[in-house]
Structure 1
Amino acid sequence: MKLATLKDGSRDGQLAVVSRDLATAHYATGIAAKMQQVLDDWGFISPQLQDLYDTLNQGKARHAFPFDPAQCMAPLPRAYQWADGSAFINHVELVRAARNSEVPKSFYEDPLMYQGGSDDFLGPTDDAFFLTEDWGIDFEAEVAVVTGDVKMGATPDQALEGVRLVMLANDWSLRNLIPNELAKGFGFFQSKPATAFSPVAVTPDELGDAWQGGRVHLTLQSSWNGRKVGMCDAGPEMTFSFGQLIAHIAKTRNVRAGSIVGSGTVSNKGVDNGSGKTEWPKGYSCIAEKRAIETIQDGKPSTEFMKFGDTIKLEMKGKDGQSVFGTIEQKVAKP
């Protein structure tokens, strides 16, 4: 099924069920008012939502209305936890190579992860506000999951069973703030502003055989200022599955229902064009990666970060060509 949270003037919005084709929606009133309620009592509430979803898809829901992504908040407008991994090791390799730094062996065995702010998320069409362009504004196209309860010490297989919903994320980054923050030895903070999520979150069964091994085997499309810059495959090159990422969190703590876990920037390896030069036919899912490629090839980056007025659109289509999660469409703006 597909779920969304619609704006109603409150912090947590109003839960709605959305049709498979993203054309219509129906409030979940009488079943659950908020997304967190569903996650807290998944076994009891989700079957009732599934029944409403089936009725909606059959065109028999009495109070259905047109679905408008512009009325959406993030599916889970604020969460108990937002932990973002870096599961695509190619992204790490490129960024490290651009500064002549080797990737430690441990990075291939133990995922990188940071804990971001989860008290303030952006809706899929909300403007992204920044005080200055000097911060190095960058988008990051990612896949994310929302969990139920996962016990401390869970194996990757056990952790994967805790995945309740899948969605897309735009994990905004302020690249020019990152070096000084990392130099302090305490990780990201100011360099990671509010993250945006897709209009709908879907249960893994909606993905069919595209959901394999805790990975989404579909193409994540990124369009910057109307120009398609990324057509990256989110499946085979994901070094660490969502089961592994969740198990990484659960090594020393319980993971509670309503935790969001991100994949990190979706990234694909380049290919040799036959003349000894590497090309990246699938493009990129963040500007930092494009700049890393330019530095490796030309000695310096030439692509600038985002400016006020720039737009970014992220979308993932199923094998039937239809949008799975709806689109994240945001504009960079000055408050």
Structure 2
Amino acid sequence: MKWVTYEAGTGRRTGILDGQHVRGLRAGVSLLSLLEAGEHALAEAGIDARRAPDEIRPLTEVRLLAPLPRPPSVRDGLCFLDHLRGSYRALGRSEQLHPAWSEVPAFYFTNAGAVVGPHDDVPVAPGSRMFDFELEVGAVIGRGGSDLAPATAERHIVGYTLFNDWTARDHQLRDLALGLGMGKSKDSAVTLGPALVTADELEEHRRDGRLAIELSATVNGEELTRGSLDRMDWTFGELVAFVSRGVELSPGEVIGSGTVPGGCLLEHVDTPDLADARWLRPGDVVTLRGQGLGETRQTVVPGSDVLPLSSGF
């Protein structure tokens, strides 16, 4: 099923997509509450939505929100190592990766409070002149657990959604210099949507044990990249297993795949001066598409002004 969270003038609602319509559950039911109630609760609610929905609305009459507007946490992995190599190349660095990248799947926590919907406008991060997007897929945990085995960890994923990890590259350079991980560079927005597509819906795209979902990104209608999810160097099973070491994962937590190679402006920089490269500007329209996952389409808008600190930043 394809689960959505939407607004149609009567408050936030949860439902399933059925062609060009949304079949909504009763008010007060959230996707997160269904996940927390267990996998059977989600399946039963889906049956109810098909047989006896509380309301049926055309997609044209609703505003789709992020399927999980405030997930318990959002982690982002880096499972496509060619994305890292492409980023290093753009920065003038050697593409030779440290052995650690092949020892564990890297990830960081990003801002679960900055989740936006699939068609929401996205403000430029305050003070950024090098604003970027990143084409990814997010896996949503449906069944909790800790110290999961790589061979079975994927069974804890209830479904998938498109994931856009908006990034202020100039802020990122400062974050990296500080050496404490991602800070304001990843703090402004994370797109999820348009739907949480349950894992069973995507089984037809599985090849050799991996989801071979075709993904693409365009800026102002011009395709920037096209790739496939099965090209991940680390599988979602390995990523979820690593994330779960010594930690109890909870239903509704989101874990990103990392960027599809070529799926950001940074990898396409062709000038030695990063500041002169093509970055997102107000008015730009970024569209992500995923086979079986749908489409996000968002307009970049001006961000808020920066209130300087004592140092001037």
Say if 1:171 and 1:69 are closer, same or farther in 2 by CA, change over 3 A. farther
Is 1:333 aligned to residue 311 of structure 2? no
Q: Give the aligned partner of residue 56 of structure 2.
A: 64
SS at structure 2 position matched to 1:152 = coil
Is 1:285 aligned to residue 266 of structure 2? no
Say if 1:231 and 1:69 are closer, same or farther in 2 by CA, change over 3 A. farther
2:258 to 264, 269, 273: 264
CA distance in 2: counterparts of 1:181 and 1:62, whole angstroms: 47
Q: Give the aligned partner of residue 201 of structure 1.
A: 196
Contact 2:8 2:62 in 1 (8 A): no
Say if 1:76 and 1:316 are closer, same or farther in 2 by CA, change over 3 A. same
Q: Give the aligned partner of residue 281 of structure 1.
A: none
Say if 1:29 and 1:157 are closer, same or farther in 2 by CA, change over 3 A. farther
Aligned pairs for 1:105-116 within 5 A: 105-116=99-110
CA distance in 1: counterparts of 2:278 and 2:190, whole angstroms: 21
What is the RMSD computed on CA atoms of the aligned residues? 2.4
Q: Give the aligned partner of residue 14 of structure 1.
A: 13
Q: Give the aligned partner of residue 23 of structure 2.
A: 26
Aligned pairs for 1:88-99 within 5 A: 88-98=80-90, 99=92
**C-alpha offsets along residues 58-102 of structure 1, whole Å, 9 cap, x if unaligned?**
xx8684221249601100000111000000011112222443233
Is 1:47 aligned to residue 43 of structure 2? yes
Q: Give the aligned partner of residue 145 of structure 1.
A: 139
Is 1:81 aligned to residue 81 of structure 2? no
User: Which runs of 5 or more structure 2 residues have no equivalent in the other structure?
Assistant: 304-313
CA distance in 2: counterparts of 1:107 and 1:69, whole angstroms: 46
1:227 to 212, 222, 225: 222
Say if 1:62 and 1:92 are closer, same or farther in 2 by CA, change over 3 A. closer
Post-superposition shift, 1:24? 1.1
Post-superposition shift, 1:131? 5.4
- TM norm structure 1: 0.82
AA in 2 matched with 1:82? V
Contact 2:214 2:290 in 1 (8 A): yes
Post-superposition shift, 1:197? 1.3
Contact 1:178 1:188 in 2 (8 A): yes
Post-superposition shift, 1:149? 3.5
Say how many residue pairs are matched. Answer: 299
SS at structure 2 position matched to 1:79 = coil
Q: Give the aligned partner of residue 2 of structure 1.
A: 2
CA distance in 2: counterparts of 1:169 and 1:289, whole angstroms: 18
Post-superposition shift, 1:106? 1.7
Contact 2:26 2:54 in 1 (8 A): no
AA in 2 matched with 1:78? R
CA distance in 2: counterparts of 1:38 and 1:213, whole angstroms: 31
Give the structure with the higher percent strand: 2
CA distance in 2: counterparts of 1:178 and 1:334, whole angstroms: 19
Say if 1:100 and 1:69 are closer, same or farther in 2 by CA, change over 3 A. farther
User: Which runs of 5 or more structure 1 residues have no equivalent in the other structure?
Assistant: 268-283, 318-323
